[in-house]
Chain A
């Protein structure tokens, strides 16, 4: 009797989520298939998407490279944190999470102050006689911005998996004659695959859709898909094309994360939430 009543508590939530997450996606699809002026059904927005394929390609390239760099840098850090005492783990976990809670706009602006031609790094290089380098407005600066902003999203799920790995498995592998490298490749790494997948996804999704990092750190002709959508929607007053691009972006993300899950044999059930 009690149980039936409790079930009812989920109803307002389900209604809310349907109205404010599912239906809006339907509205996006509706705008993607209608004409901005007449409001009639049209394929023209969808047909125009073809011209944006290079932009999509570039965005995917940037974000995949960033996600791989994050994995390379984040794995050792997550591993290190997972092997500390519980108190130190808590402290380091908090230190990884803290930057995520601070304004990412201002933190990205700080990189402008660091990287620009008369910025902190170049002034230092100049003072010690190396001379100024071109740091800002390069593809490298955009990748740096993405890695910097999204690295915590890689470290946290990796840590969550690594800390759960039974240390007896590692000991067993070592007892059976594995070198540390073999132990890592044959035991630790396979067991941490779900963490790798969820970390890669959590870096890839925001990176592929960002529109601030590329505007501040990239060269003026670097246009990522997020920049195009933002311009269409907020400045170009072409909400319908913006909707079509958003739809494509959503499908792209869905397919990419799907492929990632398939490749690693994880069904996405055990995605770690931070």
Chain B
């Protein structure tokens, strides 16, 4: 039974990674087809870096991802501190609110935000183009916030209050106690929330598709429009580079967590 389990797991991991391998191999292909390998080349990478339009789209995606994840992280961490000190009933209600973007189908979230912006834009402000960079940013912050909250809240509830009390007894002002103790303790949660929000935002297609206008488009939205025309292989080169970026981010996140865990065990050992 154990052997079967192992073989199945290996098989599933191959299944999960085969399409990505196909794309990565495709980025070194001389030909245009994903199905046939015509010869090895770096040419697609060279073309990628010459294509200003494509780089601009990647820049747009990165800009939205960086801005929305940073804003959501600061905003969400502050909110988590507030939610933590709410009464239990109110806290549950707020967490239900946090769950809405997580449990609603993305297409519903996208359409609902799009309709809100269109409603405000056309009916209340009388504008024609109501879907802009700003609406896209608002949408991304909105779906990023729950990731931050749900990563920070558990760390806050694990927080040992005697630590902050001790800091203040030793002469810290509440502000110092917050920065030196609380923030330090919840940092792994904040970092995990930030990285998760960044990757979600960078890769988001469905919601962006509904809330982006014509003048500011992100990479996934542009890739969707390739449905009608054939995909240029330099896109595969970009995929490969993004794959490496995400891989580095994830390894970093894990190493940070590992270090935090080690430190914690060390502290526990020293204590007792």
Residues of A within 8 A of B239 (CB): 102-103, 106
Identity of the chain A residue whose Cβ is nearest the Cβ of B9 in the assembled complex: A80
Is A40's beta carbon under 8 Å from chain B?
A: no
Residues of A within 8 A of B9 (CB): 76-77, 80-81
A252 and B76 CA atoms in complex are apart in Å by 30
A250 with B150: in contact, given A6-B81, A6-B85, A104-B203 (CB under 8 Å)? Answer: no
Decide: A246 and B247 in contact? CB cutoff 8 A. no
Residues of B within 8 A of A215 (CB): 227
Q: List 27 A-B contacts (CB under 8 A).
A: A2-B174, A6-B81, A6-B82, A7-B86, A10-B82, A17-B97, A17-B142, A20-B116, A20-B138, A20-B139, A21-B109, A28-B112, A73-B12, A77-B12, A79-B5, A101-B203, A107-B23, A110-B18, A112-B34, A113-B35, A123-B36, A148-B19, A201-B103, A234-B210, A243-B115, A249-B108, A257-B103
Partner of A148, one of B15, B75, B112, B174: B15
Residues of A within 8 A of B250 (CB): 94, 97-98, 101
Residues of B within 8 A of A242 (CB): 111
A23 with B116: in contact, given A10-B79, A103-B203, A249-B105 (CB under 8 Å)? Answer: yes
Residues of B within 8 A of A80 (CB): 5-6, 8-9
Q: Is the interface of B mostly helix, strand, loop or mixed?
A: helix
Among A93-142, those with CB < 8 Å from B are 94-99, 101-114, 116, 118-120, 123
Residues of B within 8 A of A108 (CB): 19
Partner of B35, one of A13, A118, A233: A118
Identity of the chain A residue whose Cβ is nearest the Cβ of B138 in the assembled complex: A20
List residues of B whose CB falls within 8 A of some A CB.
1, 4-6, 8-9, 12-13, 15-20, 22-23, 26, 33-36, 75-76, 78-79, 81-86, 94, 97-98, 100-109, 111-116, 118-119, 138-139, 141-142, 145, 149-150, 174, 199-200, 202-203, 205-206, 209-210, 219-220, 223-224, 227, 231, 235-236, 239, 242-243, 246-247, 250-251, 254, 257-258
